[in-house]
Structure 1
């Protein structure tokens, strides 16, 4: 770190404190004076820039003991009237540092894995190089050069390529287009009586992401000391492709009994772990497991050590309790007062001990243990026991302590010797006065076993999800099948792709807050082309409850391709809507991935359908309008007499009837309205128009009369012909 002037040997991270938000005037001496009262200091300094004397606002304090550092962290809050923040500093691991299980070599192995993929790319230019395989023994360098020169300019040609099992030639062209052209022209051609195979180097050498390599790395324990890297490669390559293997050895080049295997993908690693774990290899039962990061491995290791210490303390405490019970049984009933005094003394002694007294296995079943919450963090065991000793004799009192600070975490367990004291204590805690320690009111409940606590937590989480999750997001993965599970391995590759694709699409859609998952509507896909609405409904009812009610079945059809009956061709998916959620859930779980319906190759994909709240609002508005119109027509005709609907639509119907009456009155008024007085000029124009119209009518009438008179005089044949001509002219 920049600005560190002191370089001393590294200590355990929990004994060093990282102090932030320091005043810029703070010096090393100020830190030493503030933190020295809480223990012996190894060093204390503030971080400065190079060539400057001013503090950068943070520093480090290192104690000789871990407990002193925890004590200082809990007490020091302010330095020079400024609040400071502290945390335990983490040290950087040195390169090459060894651990018991060999996880320290993971970084070196990652570099080796990268070199595996970089080595070929350094020799060949990936985009411009082709590899020619399946060559005959008679093939020469000259023949290959002549063939490739006809396609494009060659930069280099190497034949045979060293390190390959079969005869291979590598040809590098000047451009990528020429290499691609060579791939198309030379593929499956015959050369010296054999058909050759051509591959572009970019398809052969695939770059692997470092993150994916970390996920596909396995550790193999309990292997024979004679096992080599080649033996591990043979063992794992029988199940999946292997990138690299390593057997961990000591300074004398002797095996330590474990190694690492790097595979191509997470799926391959999962398959190898499933098939090879707990199997015999060279006379030993090997254990295959995932490689853990260093921090996770160290935390697990410390947790195991703490559990072993707890187990030892539990055994010793159980023996002491049994001895105490035997001594209490031998005491006489006449000396009850003396017994009570002795019991109180024993309790006080047990409270003063440093070893925490654990709960018995059957504490919860006895019903004598209490769980106390809202306990102050700085409370002592004796102060807590003194509050509850007034209700009866206590068997033990145990505050829940933090592993690092050894301070109370805000809760505790207390066990009484009689059940009567439990009931009196709970009544006192729930009363108006309550139980207090200082200014904190204690909350007392009966202790619960771990199993019951896990069930209560799960139920609370589900209830929170149901209450808070208005979009029903907890139903997103209902119907999704993991490809690594037993049911997923039986599915075809097409079905797995469809399921993964649909899950991704649904996740993308649900980022929009207008979309939500319906509880009663299912989407059914992967259906055969011969499916109809009736067959889909019968299939749904067969695999659901007897009381299930299907509200709607909608089969999606094509708008371009049509059947003989005029309906569109089924696309292969549809929607089914139920009346309640329970019947929809049972139908989904019975139908989804069922091989007995359409065969094992085409299994139905059933999921809860996504809905758009905006589209639903528009649809409901349309439905309400249609209902309103239907009711209004029925009401006017006298077909309905629903009092609840009348209240909503009576005013509207009355208004419409009044409006119709007004329109009729206006029309009648226009007809009966007197014509206004016109001028002389307007009257003359009207007379001229009427006279001209009458004259035209008379002329038309005269012509028609003349034609009729002529037709009567002529014979019938001529009359018919002329009549037809007149009709045609007309």
Structure 2
């Protein structure tokens, strides 16, 4: 009898409890969980200095009690602190699954933090022994593998269910479906690959199509252990992925596709004859814009443009407005044209000095887009070595909300005066002061269609060489720093090569002129 080893029960009904208060004890945790069933063991993890980690394990007698405790206590407060309860995973199994799965990790720091948390939460499984022989264990695993179902060709008889009780197995689910609905081909509960516990979802394939239709239309409801199962139409993985991608494309609320509009990439036709200073400035702006757009409160405006490389002297709001009027389509409405100035730094005449950039906002997105493509990187405007850089402006949601509140307050104050003259004045003031129409004629639908075709690039007119990248709706990737640096190096090399070519061409021309002069003298 002394030679016999003590039998240890396998820890299947074991829960891990996180975010525990640091002043709690094993007795308090046991008291909190004992109302759901008999508890065999409570273990709180501690550091080397005997301080609590804030995590522990609760071992129940059976799986049903553990599942009830999980559903009722997870997220609920314990000693004034919400606790997180989940199924405990043996250390060996956790690491084996972790090795198979490939996950994208943003940085080394996050990888280290995940590993440290995992090592604290998972418990060593070395003391657990199995009561069955190895041979029996192998046969069981082989049988479980054989029971896997192949994907169905006809999905009309298969129904997906949610809100399935955690303690229910496949046989119980099948019996319930056959009793309340009709004959069943198979019933499978979805299991978590890490914990091998129920996810609370299941698939049932009925033998007859009309039974499945009744269940989907809620004519026949399945109730199991007091819970009503929620029926949903069966979808394949491909369909789910397609839906997910569609949602992603539709949910571009921040207009991020406009980020690429007007960008000049090195080693392209648009980048030819662009100065090194201009290219460096463009790449720096691109880097700054990627950084600001990481903030989810920032978005790209569809109607407002920001213009860089403006002349510092003799260039005011009127000149900026005239410039954009010249290159805008007919009947384009400009709401704002403003050169940003430094109020602290004044010139000789006492006027604030220009900061070298400004903003122009349009009534319609199409007009703003066509103006951007006409002015951005145009060598005929300003100087060849200092071309205008036009991009869609990045706005802040919070700032816009404050502006709207101010405008509403101003309108309320003006509406307080009920005299007819004041009403006329308020109506005139409400019409925006910056709103100026390029042409006095009314807007025609034909002209609108023509402008759209020009924007989409379907017009017969040839696109100028200086136009950069055109933005298209969809998921975009922001440029990384090393790629921008590589662009700067390639452009620098190209500028050097062009200078060498120009020098060689000038030398050839000068030699030809000398030869011609010599021939004339002879």
Structure 1 length-normalised TM: 0.34
Structure with max Cα Rg = 1
Greater RCO, CA 8 A, separation 6+:
2
